[in-house]
Amino acid sequence: MAPHALLIPLPAQGHVNPMMQLAWKLVSHGFLLTFLNSDTNHNRILTANTPNSFIHDNIRMISVPVEIPLMDTPEGIENGIELLAKDMGPSVIDRVIQEINAREEENKVTCIIADVWMCFGLQALGILHSDGIPKENKKTKYLPSMPALHSGDLPWLWAGEYMFRKGIRMGEEIKPIKWVLFNSFLEIEAPVVETLSKEVGVYPIGPLIPPEFLHSRTTTKVLPSFWKNDTGCLQWLHKQCADSVIYISFGSLAVLSEKQLEELALGVEATRRPFLWVVRSDLMKGSQAVLPAGFLDRVRDRGCIVSWAPQLEVLSHPSIACFVTHCGWNSVQESITMGVPMLCWPYFADQFLNRTYVVDVWKLGLPLNANSQGMIEQEEFVKGVEILLESEQGLEIREGARKLKIIARDAVKDGGSSSNNFNLFVTAMKRQLN
Ligand code: UDP
């Protein structure tokens, strides 16, 4: 009998992707998998992708009806989590498991792998709990093993009191769980993993990147994206010089104001460098994204704009020089694994914290700083690109990115720290069947 895992990602692109990467890994170790989506995401995935590009015989895709609002504001997060707790809560999961088990007499569900949203910083949550939410934006060292953090950069502060309480509860809830798998690797977070390990069984198994992407650029695997991948940009990248292209993408949820979008476009233009920019149709707050008049004509010979890119393939392309990123955790892990230095433009949630790590701890990128009105001006953008790609400081960052790329890949190779953790998990899940 094979272990049969029910995989439950949070219904958002940035959570579905790493869970699918984990699914591919588990399938190659003899698991049978059932992948649970919300109906909406399930349909979007089937519409946007060729099914056999991500579905495997041993991965069953199922879905349940749940309609969550856009979780990009504190209110949206609160409503979304409450709805999820109702529509994808324990009673729904129980029912789903019963249905699977009734269908698959021989292959009943033997383990559940669920997304634990924001489970980082358990002790920090405990410490904060006693003091309440810090009101002023001061820099504090929450754990001896973490760098000092601006309290305003903490994810639970961005999302307010509700998320703060929720974070504390989640920290408590995961304590009895035996296997807490992290999409990260020991070599970049050893002090934090060590501290957390005193409280819970933490197992970094990342970066969760399919092996095909680590060894070659030709792969038939595609992440189950909610938007249709524009693969034409890869042909465009093939025509560009090595280390020349600025890749700009803000992930699946971040939005920019009309003014900010315009300012960024002018900054991109002013760099006079080739660029690949993901402009999702909903990238502009409130309406269909529009670029400044004449922009497309002016940059036609050196720019490529798509509404959704095959990001792993893009980042592993030799023409990419740097990644202007919102610092979503997947984007950061993917950039590290491909050795691409970053310009950090966080939008919300954990992204400010991730920026601190990218810039101050791992030294893999530079921040793009907003002015007093919260805008990143075109001059700041150009300056960031120039420092990263032309200066001594930039050279050190780029060399650091190349070195960490090797360390990240070693972590998931046979005998590497993440590979060992993953094997421990697989062995334990198989052993419990006997
Ligand atoms: N992504 C992609 N194409 C794009 C933009 C993003 O495939 O044009 C993928 C990216 O590779 C990553 C995910 O979408 O796996 C975004 O996750 P992340 O945590 O970076 O950001 P979020 O969308 O959760 O804010």
Answer yes or no: is the C-beta of 308 below 6 A from any ligand 1 atom: yes
Question: Is 50 exceeded by the pLDDT of residue 119?
Answer: no
Q: Parallel, antiparallel, or unpaired: how do β-strands 149-150 and 139-140 relate?
A: antiparallel
User: How many A from CA of 189 to the centre of ligand 1?
Assistant: 22
Confidence grade of residue 157 (pLDDT, cut at 50, 70, 90):
low
Task: Give the distance (Å) from ligand 1 centre to CA of residue 22.
Answer: 16
Distance CA 43, CA 120 (A): 31
Q: Distance, CA 79 to ligand 1 centroid (Å)?
A: 23
Q: Which of helix, strand or coil describes residue 392? A: helix
Model's pTM, two decimal places? 0.91
For 142-161, letters b (16+ CB in 10 Å) and e give bbeebeebebebbbbbbbee
Token reading at 238: 């093939």
Q: Which residue has the tokens 């601006």?
A: 150
3-state percent helix, strand, coil for the chain, nearest multiple of 5: 45, 15, 40
- Give the pair of three-digit tokens for residue 388: 């990263």
As given in the structure block, the two tokens for residue 408 are 């990240």
To test the pocket of ligand 1, the residue of 49, 77, 208, 311 to mutate (highest count of ligand atoms within 8 Å of its CB) is 311
For residue 330, how far is its CA from the centre of ligand 1 (angstroms)? 6
The response to whether residue 157 sits with its C-beta less than 6 Å from ligand 1 reads no
Answer left, alpha or beta for residue 249, where phi above 0 means left and psi between -120 and 50 means alpha: beta
For residues 164-193, give the mean pLDDT.
Answer: 86
> How far is Cα 19 from Cα 24, in angstroms, rounded to an integer?
9
| pLDDT for res 150 | 79
What's residue 169's pLDDT?
Answer: 78
* Averaged confidence pLDDT in the chain: 87
Ligand 1 centre and the CA of 2: distance in Å? 31
DSSP 369: P
- The share of the chain scoring above pLDDT 90, in percent, equals 57
pLDDT tens digits for range 82-101? 888 888 888 888 899 899 99
Region 236-262: mean pLDDT is 96
Decide which of 5 and 1 is more confident.
Answer: 5
Q: Which of 45-54, 207-216, 325-334, 419-428 is predicted with the least confidence, judged by mean pLDDT?
A: 45-54
User: In whole angstroms, what is the distance from residue 341 CA to residue 343 CA?
Assistant: 7
How far apart (Å, rounded) are the C-alpha atoms in residues 77 and 42? 21
Q: What is the 8-class DSSP label of residue 251? A: T
Q: Is 238 exposed, middle or buried (0-12, 13-18, 19+ CB in 10 A)?
A: exposed
Residue 104, pLDDT score: 84
Angle at the Cα of 224 from the Cα atoms of 220 and 227, rounded to 5 degrees: 110
Angstrom distance (rounded) from CA 344 to CA 250: 10
**What is 392-434 written as a DSSP string?**
HHHHHHHHHHHHHHHHHHHHHSTTSHHHHHHHHHHHHHHHTT-
pLDDT band at residue 136 using 50, 70 and 90 as cut-offs: low
Is residue 307 predicted with pLDDT exceeding 60? yes
Beta bridge partners of 320: 245
- What pLDDT was estimated at residue 345? 97
pLDDT of 51 over the 80 cut: no
| Angle of the 122-131 helix axis to the 160-174 helix axis, nearest 10 | 130
Sorting pLDDT into bands at 50, 70 and 90, what band is 128?
very low
Answer whether residue 306 shows pLDDT above 70: yes
Residue 427 burial (CB count, 10 A): 11
Hey, CA dihedral for 289, 290, 291, 297, is it positive or negative? positive
* CB-based burial label for 259 (10 Å; 0-12, 13-18, 19+): exposed
HSE (side-chain half, CA atoms, 13 Å) at 407:
15
Q: At CA 421, angle to CA 419 and CA 427, rounded to 5?
A: 100
User: Measured from the CB, is residue 337 less than 6 Å from ligand 1?
Assistant: no
| Contacts of residue 426, Cβ cutoff 8 Å, sequence gap at least 6 | 3, 26, 29, 31
- DSSP 8-class letter at 152: G
| pLDDT tens profile 345-393 | 999 888 999 999 999 999 999 999 999 999 999 999 999 999 999 999 9
What was the pLDDT predicted at 142? 73
CA distance 139 to 230: 42
- Higher model confidence: residue 49 or residue 134? 49
Give the bridge partners for 139, in sequence order. 150
Secondary structure (DSSP) of 164-217? HHHHHHHHHHHTT-S-EEESS-HHHHHHHHHHHHTTS-EEE------HHHHH-S
Predicted local distance difference test score (pLDDT) of residue 63: 93
116: pLDDT strictly greater than 80:
no
Phi-psi domain of 243 (left: phi exceeds 0; alpha: psi -120 through 50; beta: other): left
Q: Is there an atom of ligand 1 within 6 Å of 354 CB?
A: no
Q: Which of 223, 276, 331 to mutate to test the pocket of ligand 1 (most atoms within 8 A of CB)?
A: 331
Q: Is 204 a pocket residue for ligand 1 (Cβ < 6 Å)?
A: no
Distance (angstroms) between ligand 1 centre and the Cα of 428 equals: 31
Q: Do residues 137 and 149 make contact, with C-beta atoms less than 8 angstroms apart?
A: no
